[in-house]
């Protein structure tokens, strides 16, 4: 029987884990996210009862509580949720697109490029509302550099990741150089794009990024169908009528957009995009459109939980969330690279 494009997509849909399993995972994730959000808006230098904090979140109760919750605690929590969702979805798309468990925006250089674009606009005195535009342009620049240096050369996936790390390091060095050249009053504002932080986010920034991330997630879900065909390989996918180059470019642009928007809001937060696809795959099985949505949910939970840890559980005051996730991500990356490079026994090579 000859396979068609639609037949492959339907087959991919049948690979989706049982609805009960997905529903249980999604429901649990939403409940955990709600609990974390409640903790986030009710804790701080002065703790607030959860019921009071939730009332203040919708503008009810004491004006002082409303001010603290709505203007200081809630924007930070929502920023972590939005950025985490973008990173989780971006990591899921990239790992499936490159067929490489090491692929993620922070490993491939995308977040470094986004940071460079954001800091460059900040240095030019641009409006804060234009920062996401600069971040997206920088992320696209990083993707272009990666394509020039590695993708079109047909390098092995492990070497592709190493090239991405080199691109990331070079872009991070450029960001640090710009910050050193900043006036003192701008250096502090730009520092978040070298460490990753959701501190001091405003509702204007959060809602703008949230709207853009939702649109990018919708695009990811639509283009995700092409991954079912690309999983067969370029030659079979082409035989089924899929323009593989265009499909890969579309998917790459969606992933870059998601990661860049997250970086514009929270800086170059590491580990989240790398770990989330593995967590979701372990708990739900093969990747599909449904698991892509769950990856976004898992990323939101992981980043918000990490931010709560650095705020309230670690002894170092003012530690950015990016420092904590990088500490977790470094050993994770080493383990994954070791597993990728380890030869398979009995391969007969």
- Mean pLDDT in each 10-residue stretch from start to end of the chain (349 residues)? 49 58 90 95 86 89 88 93 95 86 83 85 76 83 76 58 79 81 68 77 87 92 81 74 79 88 86 90 83 94 92 79 79 69 45
CATH of the domain at 218: 1.10.3470.10
Residue 86 lies in a domain: yes
- Answer yes or no: are the C-beta atoms of 268 and 111 closer than 8 Å: yes
Non-local CB neighbours of 348 within 8 Å, separated by 6+ positions: none
Residue 31 lies in a domain: yes
Residue 60 lies in a domain: yes
Backbone Cα Rg of the chain: 21
Instruction: State residue 1's pLDDT score.
Output: 36
DSSP letter at 18 equals P
Place of tokens 């492959």: 8
Instruction: State residue 122's pLDDT score.
Output: 79
Instruction: State residue 347's pLDDT score.
Output: 36
Residue 143 lies in a domain: yes
Question: What's the CA gap between 135 and 130, in Å, rounded?
Answer: 9
Residue 347 lies in a domain: no
Using alpha carbons only, what angle is made at residue 205 by residues 253 and 220, rounded to the nearest 5 degrees?
A: 25
Using alpha carbons only, what angle is made at residue 172 by residues 113 and 84, rounded to the nearest 5 degrees?
A: 60
Q: Which residues constitute the domain of residue 234?
A: 5-341
Instruction: State residue 185's pLDDT score.
Output: 63
Residue 166 lies in a domain: yes
pTM for the full predicted model = 0.85
Q: How many domains does the chain have?
A: 1
Instruction: State residue 35's pLDDT score.
Output: 96
Residue 348 lies in a domain: no
Residue 153 lies in a domain: yes
């Amino acid at each position: 029987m000859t396979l068609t494009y639609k037949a492959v997509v339907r087959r991919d849909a049948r690979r989706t884990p049982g609805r009960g399993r997905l529903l249980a995972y999604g429901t649990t994730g939403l409940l955990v996210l709600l609990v974390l959000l409640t903790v986030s808006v009710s804790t701080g230098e002065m703790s607030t009862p959860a019921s009071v904090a939730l009332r203040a979140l919708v503008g009810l109760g004491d004006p002082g509580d409303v001010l603290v919750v709505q203007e200081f605690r809630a924007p930070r929590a929502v920023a972590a949720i939005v950025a985490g969702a973008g990173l989780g979805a971006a990591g899921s798309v990239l790992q499936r697109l490159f067929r490489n468990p090491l692929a993620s925006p922070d490993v491939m250089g995308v977040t470094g490029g986004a940071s460079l674009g954001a800091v460059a606009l900040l240095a030019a005195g641009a409006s804060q509302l234009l920062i996401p535009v600069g971040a997206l342009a920088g992320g696209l620049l990083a993707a272009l550099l990666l394509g020039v240096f590695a993708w079109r050369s047909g390098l092995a996936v492990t070497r592709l990741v190493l090239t991405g790390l080199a691109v990331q390091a070079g872009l991070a060095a450029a960001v640090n150089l710009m910050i050193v050249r900043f006036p003192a009053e701008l250096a502090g504002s730009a520092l978040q794009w070298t460490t990753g932080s959701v501190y001091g986010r405003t509702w204007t920034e959060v809602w703008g990024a949230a709207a853009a991330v939702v649109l990018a997630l919708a695009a990811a879900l639509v283009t995700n169908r092409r991954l079912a065909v690309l999983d067969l390989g370029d030659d079979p996918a082409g035989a089924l009528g899929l323009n593989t180059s265009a499909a890969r470019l579309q998917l790459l642009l969606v992933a870059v957009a998601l990661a860049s928007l997250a970086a514009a809001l929270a800086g170059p937060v590491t580990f989240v995009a790398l770990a989330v696809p593995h967590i979701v795959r372990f708990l739900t099985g093969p990747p599909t459109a449904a698991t892509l949505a769950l990856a976004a949910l898992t990323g939101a939970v992981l980043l918000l939980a990490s931010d709560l840890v650095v705020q309230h559980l670690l002894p170092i005051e003012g530690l950015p969330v990016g420092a904590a996730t990088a500490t977790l991500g470094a050993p994770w990356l080493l383990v994954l690279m070791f597993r990728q490079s380890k030869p398979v026994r009995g391969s007969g090579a």
